[in-house]
Amino acid sequence: MIQQEKLTIKTGDRVLEVIPGDDEIEIDGIRYQCHSAEIDKNTVSILLEGKVYLFRIIPNGSGYLINWRGGEYELEMEDERTRMMNKFMGGGTAVKSRGMIKAPMPGLVVKILVEEGQEVKKGAPVIVVEAMKMENEIVSPVNGIVKEIKVDERQVVEKGETLIIIGE
């Protein structure tokens, strides 16, 4: 197996260190035989140690919402590069407080994907910010109505600056 980048996956209080490979995955130092296949845009099938698991995966800010066996689990994922950027920049995910979306780091607003008065669902993309030559799609942290857009496209923003406010 060719060693790939390590991922850190956080769900609740559990933190997993995962090293993905072509036919194996290492979780917390234990190797498992596995194979994954994308069923559709948001569904993944994983064959792990002879058992098949189906997961519905929905992007959600810095991570994903995973629907599995009737439950919903919030996962945050970081690769080595993102972990180092977050350490250097003191964060990295959009700072969210009850529907307030703030810039995760200094950057340039590339595209605003919503309009004031528009209804949005949790996890829906609302704005794209370019930072360090990478475009970051920021999603709504809540279901609600776009109350105020505080920035314009092509505007330079500072880390922590409020971009969009979403309310009920």
Would you state the structure tokens that stand for residue 124, as one six-digit string?
Answer: 């829906």
The second-level CATH assignment, the architecture, of 94-167 is Beta Barrel (2.40)
Domain residue ranges of the chain, discontinuous segments joined by +? 7-80, 94-167
Supply the pLDDT for residue 93: 45
Does residue 4 have a pLDDT over 60? no
Cα atoms found within 13 Å of the Cα of residue 6, Cβ hemisphere only: 11
User: What does each C-alpha distance from 57 to 39, 45, 158, 163, 167 come to in angstroms?
Assistant: 11, 11, 31, 26, 25
Q: Which tens digit of pLDDT belongs to each residue from 95-144?
A: 444 578 888 788 899 999 999 999 998 888 999 998 878 888 888 888 89
Contact 142, 159 (CB under 8 A): no
CATH number assigned to the domain covering 7-80: 3.30.700.30
Q: Which tens digit of pLDDT belongs to each residue from 39-67?
A: 887 788 888 878 888 888 877 655 677 77
Question: Mean pLDDT for the chain?
Answer: 77
Contact 111, 127 (CB under 8 A): yes
d(CA 109, CA 34): 40
d(CA 141, CA 125): 10
